[in-house]
Amino acid sequence: MNILTRIFPTKHTTAPFSKIDTSQYMPAIDTEIARSKEEIHAITNNESIPTFENTIEKLEYVGQQLDRITSIFFNLNSAETNETIQKLAQEVSPKLTEFSNDITLNEALFKRVKYVHDHKEDLDLTIEQKTLLDKKFKSFSRNGANLAEDKKEQLREIDKKLSKLSLSFGENVLAETNKFQLHLTEEKDVSGIPNGALEAAKAIAKSENKEGWIFTLDYPSYIPFMKYADNRELRQQMATAFGSKCFKNDELDNQATVLEIAKLRHQRANLLGYETHAHFVLEERMAETPEKVISFLNELLEKAKPAAEREFKQLANFAKKLDGIEQLQSWDNSYYSEKLKQELFNLDDEKLKPYFKLENVIDGAFTVANKLFDLRFEQVFDIDTYHEDVKTYEVFDGNDNFVSVFYADFHPRKGKRNGAWMTSYKSQQRKDGKVERPHVSIVCNFTKPTESKPSLLTFNEVTTLFHEFGHALHGMLANTTYPSLSGTSVFWDFVELPSQILENWCYEAEALAIFARHYETDEVIPMEYIEKIKASATFLEGMSTLRQLSFGLLDMSWHGIDPTAITDVKAHESAAFENTRLFPENPKTAMSTAFSHIFQGGYSSGYYSYKWAEVLDADAFEYFKENGIFSKEIASKFATHVLSKGGTEHPMTLYKRFRGEAPKPDALLKRAGLLVD
């Protein structure tokens, strides 16, 4: 029997990774789709009057084993993929899209859902049940249930194409990332690069039986090179390679894919009665409309741009004075920013890294979670993983109740996409009187240990770990009835609040004292370093804010208009960046062709949500600071009203219940140093 088609006979029913052969996925998916169709058939053939229990609840639990199989498959496609998995994904995705459409376009099923929705005022439903009912109804009405048959077929075709295009986009980006190597053999070419980064580059070269150093486009290799390499021409070469991913008019080019995705999304929105893709998406977000998003981004732009221009001028003058640079280019940004930061604060990553050994930072995140939420993490070695790098933990609460399984995957490798993310293998839910606890994972790309040093993190990597761990806590502390409302299943512009707020503890002396210890001497990070970390937190914040806003505006430029007239990706992108550009344009690069967040991930019309959530997180952390950063009272309110509630109520209702009032942007502007008295 295929192990994927039954409840997994493992500890906590965790994914049996080592027992799964890739050939098992498709038969298992076919079996579970057929089983799910039978479950749908049972709902639609029920001759009883539709009720919440016999229709909405039954629908909620359709295809649970299918969800578990596909979560394993697609998580592996991101974290441990290969050609076989990628090829299979091209077959699996359209099949799942077709099945999803079979549900949302099923007239008999929609009729029952609509009946319950039309009679909801007569039902004695809990708040969570009302939310679920509304969500199920909208999943039909917003996805074609009211369309005529010919339009439904059009929708099916568009969705199939989009699922394949998104996969192709991601595969090309990964292939481009893996394809490029900068192989150096001369000492002069690696001048300025710290020993840790050189050792890692030497290890890559050694693994390929080459002399010297190999630098790649993986973040732990790329970022130190751009920050420290004295050779300006090589920085330009690296930056151009990074910025030209899938923009070379070759077999990995994504330009046509970007244009087609944008146009198909627009067609889909029009078919469903929406002006643009952004209008469709934002109807189910806190921001509500494209106009509000653009207004929000432009309001921040107005505050940030003068500061960004001042900072850019300061940086340009510094580079000219230091090295006679007449025109600051994008490949100079990290290099001279780091040099200026060292001059102003006498602080750099190389001074800080010895205090941020990966294992200590992990323990620090666990201790912060314990102090705030009474959680205890125990590493275990009897839970299966998909790679030897993956660590597994059991999580318990203050009463020793089992809370969650937690996976952590920290280092880059060939089959793993760049970046950092949180994901889930099993959602929390209550069913048949039993509480099912979640299986949560975070995936990052941090510097690997070398022959002489453990994995030492940059401060940015420390905040990244805390960020993803914040998402994980949102998943772990879920306490809802229905899986589709559990954990991170919230409005997209609310999902970043739990992750971004946790980053704040990385800047606090009280928290840093817990885990920032020198890996050789065990000395706690000196207070002067902590003060410098805090003082430098707003360093070049105007430029950083402008950069984030430019990404949000680019996203809206693809999705908040009719894109059918766009024929040139680069020209369109240049126009979108016009009001946020500081550096001269590089004609060889384009961002859109590798902008995975919006063309592969779930952030289309949603990239603004990082800044939106920053307003929430700055306001929320002010509340903690007023009462103590480890205040059990405030942490309990945050867990009760935000983390545990998932998507059971409107996020603003939950936030106000926690904070007592709506968030104000002042806390963010103050924290970013952009608030002018």
Active site residues: 468
- What's the rounded Cα separation, in Å, for the pair 553 and 297? 7
Q: What is the DSSP letter of 643?
A: I
Q: What is the DSSP letter of 11?
A: G
Radius of gyration of the chain (CA): 25
CB 486 within 8 A of CB 462: no
Q: Mention every residue, 6+ apart, whose C-beta is less than 8 A from residue 234.
A: 182, 184, 189, 225
Cα dihedral sign, 668-674-676-677: positive
- What's the rounded Cα separation, in Å, for the pair 300 and 25? 47
Q: Mention every residue, 6+ apart, whose C-beta is less than 8 A from residue 551.
A: 591, 595, 597, 607
Token reading at 75: 């998580």
CB 39 within 8 A of CB 408: no
CA–CA distances in Å: residue 257 to residues 100, 180, 202: 23, 21, 36
Q: Torsion angle, CA of 647/649/651/656, rounded to 10 degrees?
A: -140
- What's the rounded Cα separation, in Å, for the pair 487 and 476? 7
- What's the rounded Cα separation, in Å, for the pair 177 and 27? 32
Q: Mention every residue, 6+ apart, whose C-beta is less than 8 A from residue 433.
A: none
Report H helices in 180-231: 195-207, 219-228
